[in-house]
Amino acid sequence: MISAGRLAAVARKEFIHVIRDWRSLSLALAIPVILILLFGYALTLDLKKVPTLVWDQSRSAESRDLLSYYQGSPYFSLIGTADSYETLRKGLNSGRAMIALVVPGDFANRVHAGKTANIQILVDGSDANTSRLAMGYAEAVGMIYGQKIQAEQAGFPETPDAPVTLVPRSFYNPGLRSQNVIIPGIIAIVMIVVAAMLTSVTVAREWETGTMEQLISTPLRAPELIFGKVVPYFVIGLTDVVIAVVMGKVLFQVDIVGNAALLFAMASLFLTGALFFGLMLSIVLKSQVLANQIAIVSGFLPTLILSGFVFAIENMPLPIRILTTIVPAKYFITLMRGIYMKGIGLEIMYMNAIFLVIYAGLTLLMAHRKFKFKLE
Phi, psi of 307 (to 5 degrees): -100, -5
- Residue 170: inside a domain: no
Check whether residue 256 and residue 299 sit in a common domain. yes
55 and 39 in a common domain: no
Rounded to whole angstroms, the Cα distance separating 238 from 183 reads 16
Residue 162 covered by a domain: no
Query: Does residue 30 sit in the same domain as residue 55?
Result: no
Average pLDDT taken over every residue of the chain? 84
- Tell whether 169 is covered by a domain: no
**Does residue 164 sit within a domain?**
no
Answer yes or no: do 239 and 347 share one domain.
yes
Let me know whether 15 and 86 are in one domain. no
Same domain? 200 vs 328: yes
**Which DSSP state fits 261?**
H
Q: Does 82 lie in the same domain as 134?
A: yes
Residue 80 pairs in a beta bridge with 53
> Are 196 and 147 part of one and the same domain?
no
| DSSP per-residue letters across 163-230 | SS------SS-TT--HHHHHHHHHHHHHHHHHHHHHGGGHHHHHHHHT-HHHHHTSS--HHHHHHHHH
Instruction: State the sign of the Cα–Cα–Cα–Cα dihedral 50, 70, 47, 129.
Output: negative
The whole-number pLDDT of residue 376 equals 47
CA distance 283 to 202: 8
In a domain, 163, yes or no: no
Residue 374 has pLDDT above 70, yes or no: no
Instruction: Find the domain containing 134 and state its range.
Output: 50-153
314 and 367 part of one domain: yes
Lowest mean pLDDT among 66-70, 224-228, 255-259: 224-228
- Identity of the residue numbered 238: L
Distance between CA atoms of residues 119 and 113, nearest Å: 16
Q: Which amino acid is at 233?
A: Y
What radius of gyration, in Å, describes the C-alpha atoms of the chain?
28
What letters, b where the CB count within 10 A reaches 16 and e where it falls short, cover 136-163? ebbeebbeebeebbeeeeeeeeeeeeee
Query: What was the pLDDT predicted at 267?
Result: 94
Q: Return the beta strands (E) in the chain as ranges.
A: 50-56, 76-81, 99-103, 120-123
* pLDDT of 250: 92
Nearest to 233 by CA among 204, 275, 192: 275
| Chain centre to alpha carbon of residue 245 | 14
Instruction: Give the CATH number for residue 110.
Output: 3.40.1710.10
Each residue's pLDDT tens digit, 300-357: 889 989 998 888 888 889 999 999 999 999 999 999 999 999 999 899 999 999 999 9
Residue 130 lies inside a defined structural domain of this protein? yes
Same structural domain, 226 and 182? yes
Residues in contact with 359: Cβ distance below 8 Å, sequence separation at least 6, in sequence order: 270, 273, 328, 331
**Residue 114: count of CB within 10 angstroms of its CB:** 11
**pLDDT beyond 90 at 147:** no
User: Distance between CA 55 and CA 42 in Å, rounded?
Assistant: 31
pLDDT tens digits for range 175-185: 778 888 888 88
Q: Are residues 30 and 64 located together in one domain of the fold? A: no
Statement to judge: residues 189 and 235 lie in one domain = yes
Separation between Cα atoms, residue 112 and residue 266, nearest integer Å: 63
Q: What is the DSSP letter of 161?
A: P
Measured distance CA(291)–CA(181) in Å, rounded: 31
Task: Note whether residue 276 is domain-resident.
Answer: yes
More confident residue, 215 or 28: 28
Interatomic CA distance for residues 199 and 313, integer angstroms = 29
- Tell me the mean pLDDT in the region 78-106: 89
- Per residue in 224-254, pLDDT tens? 788 888 888 899 999 999 999 999 999 988 9
How many residues can be counted in the chain? 376
**pTM for the complete prediction?**
0.78
What's the CA gap between 331 and 354, in Å, rounded?
9
> Domain tally for the chain?
2
Tell whether 165 is covered by a domain: no
CA max distance for the chain? 96
The mean per-residue pLDDT over the stretch 113-139 comes to: 83
